Chain A
Amino acid sequence: MASNDVEEKVRTILQRVGKLEPGFSAQADIFRELGVKSAAALDLLLSLEEDFGITISDDAFAEARTTEKIIALVNGLKGVAA
């Protein structure tokens, strides 16, 4: 999967789980700045794991609070160059 595909898929998951409108900032904190509810964190984690077929550690997920960081995390776990 190419890096662009990962980005598109992460954005789609965030829109679905976090109820975000398209075009949101990749640098914004998804919880504090974009308003994703904290209760959606687990759904987001499980969706990322299921859709990408990866296992994400809780510590790594806790650090990835922006779209950009989530994409980097998924890419890192899938071995995709950014």
Chain B
Amino acid sequence: MTEPMWDEFALAKKVEPDLASDLEKNGAYVSPDILKVQVEGGAKVRYSMKPGTDRKATREKMDRYVDSMVSRFRQVPKKVLHTRVRKDQGELGRGVYAELKRRGWVIEEGRGQVALRGPALNVLRAIDEDSRVTIGMGLFGATEEVYPTLIPAKTLGRCGYFSSFPQSVSMVTHLVEDYDRIEHFRQANAETTDLTVPDFNAFTTPEACLSPAVCYHCYRAREGSTLDECNVVTCVGKCFRYESTNITGLDRLWDFTMREVVFVGTEEQVSSRRKRGIDLVMEQLERFDLEVQIETANDPFFSAAYATKTYYQVRSDLKYEVRLAVEPDERGARSIACGSFNLHEDFFGKTFSITASDGKPAFTGCVAWGLERWVLACFTQHGFDPARWPADVRGRVFK
């Protein structure tokens, strides 16, 4: 038997598209045997499993998962801040990722890991330079900081990451300093090119993780400080979020590049800068002539944290996403979140004892760009003919 197994059940209450989408996405983490989760018409969950899966045990797990996401969820109406239509009259591209690979501009190095070169790399650099120089340093007067790719597990723990997003953490471990265990490992791998782990007890508890976002470093770097003025920092880094079976092309990588402009200051200083950031990114979208909607959003909180944290985040307008149009799928028009504008209130100020110039715990916020997704959106919206690209961008992409 090689065909996937399917199961389905009705939801206790009908769910809105946003919750349905998150149920599908987080469903990847319910069981390694689950291949795909679909919510049909907001009323039914349908999921496929590997052949031979224990149907009853998986169903029980799925019931617990759905109940944790749905039972306490309270829908808050989405707010749309801005929409923009392209000047480019061309149709949205189809099969863009495949074409980028065919041209050798994107090379898959592993699951959710890509190399970029040629025009794809040029687009990434053009977006990044525009964000770093024009918006970050130019219009916000940001200073640059460089951070490690690793982040101490202790820092992520203090940021609440393990209780909010445990499903996506990439932990870094190594073999314990023990001659016999290292030798055992060496021998197990001597005759094979596939990593072989003869003894999981030979691994240490991870002291570090791969950074899931750049800005955590920025807050940690200010621990215990009192700020004279609003700190505006721009930084870029490789970020890592394990996306399981959701890993897809440039849409959803495991290893991706994030540019951020980070604000640390008083409530007024930070919220006014985030608001300004939205206007500046709208101008950037004009420069790159991209079709977009900027709307309220929530982070992918896991399980019981989903309903409670999503509610507060959306209700309080703490997160807006830049959703760029990409190629439609079988369900119709589609967009992906290519950036976000975030407020964290005084959470990081309190966590890291940062005092703002008003004597209160600092507020923080950031504007973030997921650069590989911008690359996908640009090629989807402008295609591979340089003539369709905005004149100012064209020369930087097609050299």
Answer yes or no: are A and B bound together in one complex: yes
Residues of B within 8 A of A41 (CB): 308, 311-312, 315
- Chain B, interface size category, equals 10 to 19
Asked whether B346 lies within 8 Å of A38 as measured between CB atoms, the reply is: no
Q: Is the interface of B mostly helix, strand, loop or mixed?
A: helix
Asked whether A32 lies within 8 Å of B308 as measured between CB atoms, the reply is: no
Asked whether B315 lies within 8 Å of A58 as measured between CB atoms, the reply is: yes
Asked whether B74 lies within 8 Å of A45 as measured between CB atoms, the reply is: yes
Asked whether B316 lies within 8 Å of A39 as measured between CB atoms, the reply is: no
Asked whether A38 lies within 8 Å of B72 as measured between CB atoms, the reply is: no
**A41-B315, A62-B315 known; A32 vs B307 contact (CB < 8 Å):** no
Question: Nearest Cβ in chain B — how far from A40, in angstroms?
Answer: 7
Residues of A within 8 A of B346 (CB): 32
**A45-B74, A62-B315 known; A38 vs B305 contact (CB < 8 Å):** no
Within 8 Å of chain A (Cβ to Cβ): is B80? no
Within 8 Å of chain B (Cβ to Cβ): is A43? yes
A32 to B74, CA, bound (A): 23
Within 8 Å of chain A (Cβ to Cβ): is B221? no
Residues of B within 8 A of A61 (CB): 315
Q: Which of A25-53 contact B (CB under 8 A)?
A: 31-32, 38-43, 45-46
Residues of A within 8 A of B74 (CB): 42, 45-46, 58
Asked whether B307 lies within 8 Å of A42 as measured between CB atoms, the reply is: yes
Question: Nearest Cβ in chain A — how far from B148, in angstroms?
Answer: 29
Q: Which of B288-320 contact A (CB under 8 A)?
A: 305, 307-309, 311-313, 315-316
How many chain A residues touch B (CB < 8 A): the figure is: 13
A31 to B312, CA, bound (A): 11
Within 8 Å of chain A (Cβ to Cβ): is B76? yes
A43 to B311, CA, bound (A): 10
Within 8 Å of chain A (Cβ to Cβ): is B345? yes
Q: Name the CB-closest residue of A to B304.
A: A39
Residues of B within 8 A of A38 (CB): 309, 312-313, 316, 345, 347
Residues of B within 8 A of A62 (CB): 315-316
Question: Nearest Cβ in chain A — how far from B114, in angstroms?
Answer: 35
Q: Name the CB-closest residue of B to A42.
A: B311
Asked whether B316 lies within 8 Å of A42 as measured between CB atoms, the reply is: no
Asked whether A39 lies within 8 Å of B309 as measured between CB atoms, the reply is: yes
Question: Nearest Cβ in chain A — how far from B321, in angstroms?
Answer: 19
Residues of B within 8 A of A42 (CB): 72, 74, 307-308, 311-312
A42 to B347, CA, bound (A): 18
Asked whether B315 lies within 8 Å of A32 as measured between CB atoms, the reply is: no
Q: Name the CB-closest residue of A to B350.
A: A35
Q: Name the CB-closest residue of A to B363.
A: A32
Residues of A within 8 A of B307 (CB): 42
Asked whether B308 lies within 8 Å of A43 as measured between CB atoms, the reply is: yes
Asked whether B312 lies within 8 Å of A39 as measured between CB atoms, the reply is: yes
A46 to B305, CA, bound (A): 15
A38 to B74, CA, bound (A): 15
Interface string of B309-346 (1 = CB under 8 A from A): 10111011000000000000000000000000000011
Residues of B within 8 A of A40 (CB): 308
Residues of A within 8 A of B316 (CB): 38, 62
Query: Chain B: residues with CB nearer than 8 A to chain A?
Result: 72, 74, 76, 305, 307-309, 311-313, 315-316, 345-347
**21 A-B contact pairs sorted by A residue (CB < 8 Å):** A31-B345, A32-B345, A38-B312, A38-B313, A38-B316, A39-B305, A39-B309, A39-B312, A40-B308, A41-B311, A41-B312, A42-B72, A42-B307, A42-B308, A45-B74, A45-B311, A46-B72, A58-B74, A58-B315, A61-B315, A62-B316
**Besides A31-B345, A32-B345, A58-B315, 16 other A-B contacts (C-beta < 8 A):** A32-B346, A38-B309, A38-B312, A38-B313, A38-B345, A39-B305, A40-B308, A41-B308, A41-B311, A41-B312, A41-B315, A42-B74, A45-B74, A45-B311, A46-B72, A61-B315
Give the 10 A-B CB pairs with smallest separation, nearest first: A42-B311, A39-B308, A38-B312, A41-B312, A42-B308, A39-B309, A58-B315, A58-B76, A62-B315, A42-B307
